[in-house]
Amino acid sequence: MKVLVTGATGFIGRNLVSELLGQGDRVLCLYRDPMSRYDLYSGTGEWLQADLASPLSLRGHLSKIEVVYHVAGVTSGHGAHEYDQGNVETTRNLLQQLGGEAKELKCLVYVSSLAAAGPCAQSPGLSPEAHAQPVSAYGRSKLAAEQVILKEFNTIPSIIVRPPIVYGPYDQALLPLFKAIRTGIRVIHGFRPFPVSLIHVEDLVSGLRFVSSSKEMVGRRYHISDGGVYPWQEIIDCAAVMLNPRSRTIVLPLPLLWLSCQFAEMIGRVRGKPLSLNRDKWSEIKQAGWVGNGAMLNEQGFTPAYRLEQGLSQTIEWYKTHGWL
């Protein structure tokens, strides 16, 4: 099968491309920065340097594509405009080119985010059919991109998957926390449980392949997770057992974290590149929790392989093997 992966050099994209190549698919890997693809894969993927902000750069490459995994997007930006440009307009451009050229297209799978649905701190979690209430510019842009996709459903059959916190090989978002634990510090933000859903990246890419093979899932949204609901303290403590059992817990009060987000925002603007910690991220951190209900996907037959302990063990071992920890 000939497939297109946007954002092929990112955290999720790398893992997805490796999985698809391993399954024998012919993969067109879309990337923007030529340095980002250096020495990534030993597989036989076909590489296309293109920018979704300039849809004509895709022209002539989509006629044989059967499945599209739309992973590319902006996760950190300076204000709503950058999120909209990087998530909404690029999605609209991709659909425009697919509609005009991809005559063999069977399905587009869009990797959205639980941020598009909004926060929830109680089990079984927020349903994908519930009224969406995003609290951040990032979440609102992902929801808007979903709406763009659903409007084109009649011409481009699509499935939307909303992952929660994703971790695993190549993830850099949680790496600073693991490094802190290794040096003896367990960082907890706020005096509260802060329950979250998680998904190991290998389970996420398995879930993306799973939904792409089902005609019955087309036109719907799905939340995905490993089925657990984890207080943040439990995640940190689990990692500490593997990295440094003698590490000590330090609670970062929310007002101090707010100041850190403000400061990081200013640093990002000075450098010209937004940091992962910023004022928009504060809009998500200050919520009571982020729990998504993935029961709909599980009812379709999807079964994740990793729960917290096994997933963290595999991830930490990968970090150590590759010199990240």
Residue 157, domain CATH = 3.40.50.720
Q: Decide if 31 is inside a domain.
A: yes
Q: Is the confidence at residue 43, as pLDDT, over 70?
A: no
DSSP state of 299: H
Show the DSSP H helices in the chain as ranges.
11-22, 80-83, 90-101, 137-151, 175-182, 201-212, 232-243, 254-271, 279-285, 295-299, 308-321
* Bridge-based pairing state of the strands 107-111 and 198-200: unpaired
Residue-range definition of the domain harbouring residue 160: 2-165+198-225+291-306
Q: Which pLDDT band holds residue 312 (cuts at 50, 70, 90)?
A: very high
Q: Is 166 helix (H, G, I), strand (E, B) or coil?
A: strand
Residues 198 and 308 sit within 8 Å (Cβ to Cβ): yes
Average pLDDT over the chain reads 93
Q: Decide if 324 is inside a domain.
A: no
Q: Phi first, then psi: give them for residue 210, nearest 5 degrees.
A: -60, -50
Nearest alpha-carbon partner for 314 in 209, 201, 218, 232:
201
Q: Decide if 182 is inside a domain.
A: no
What confidence score (pLDDT) does residue 153 get? 79
Q: Decide if 207 is inside a domain.
A: yes
Asked if residue 134 has a cis previous peptide bond (ω within 30° of 0), the answer is: no
Distance of CA 289 to the CA centre of its chain: 17
What confidence score (pLDDT) does residue 102 get? 85
| Tally of CB atoms within 10 A around 33 | 10
Name beta bridge partners: 68. Answer: 4, 108
Work out how many domains the chain is built from and give that number: 1
| Tally of CB atoms within 10 A around 178 | 23
**How confident is the model over 183-228, as pLDDT tens digits?**
999 999 998 999 999 999 999 999 999 999 988 899 999 999 999 9
Name beta bridge partners: 101. Answer: none
- Entry pTM: 0.95
Which residues contact residue 139 at a Cβ distance below 8 angstroms, ignoring those fewer than 6 apart?
A: 113, 115, 116, 117, 118, 284
36-40, 78-82, 234-238: least confidently modelled range: 36-40
Q: Which pLDDT band holds residue 31 (cuts at 50, 70, 90)?
A: confident
Query: Cα(291)–Cα(273) distance, rounded to whole angstroms?
Result: 30
Query: Cα(93)–Cα(54) distance, rounded to whole angstroms?
Result: 8
Q: Decide if 144 is inside a domain.
A: yes
Report which of residues 274 and 138 the model is more confident about: 138
Q: Decide if 311 is inside a domain.
A: no
What confidence score (pLDDT) does residue 206 get? 97
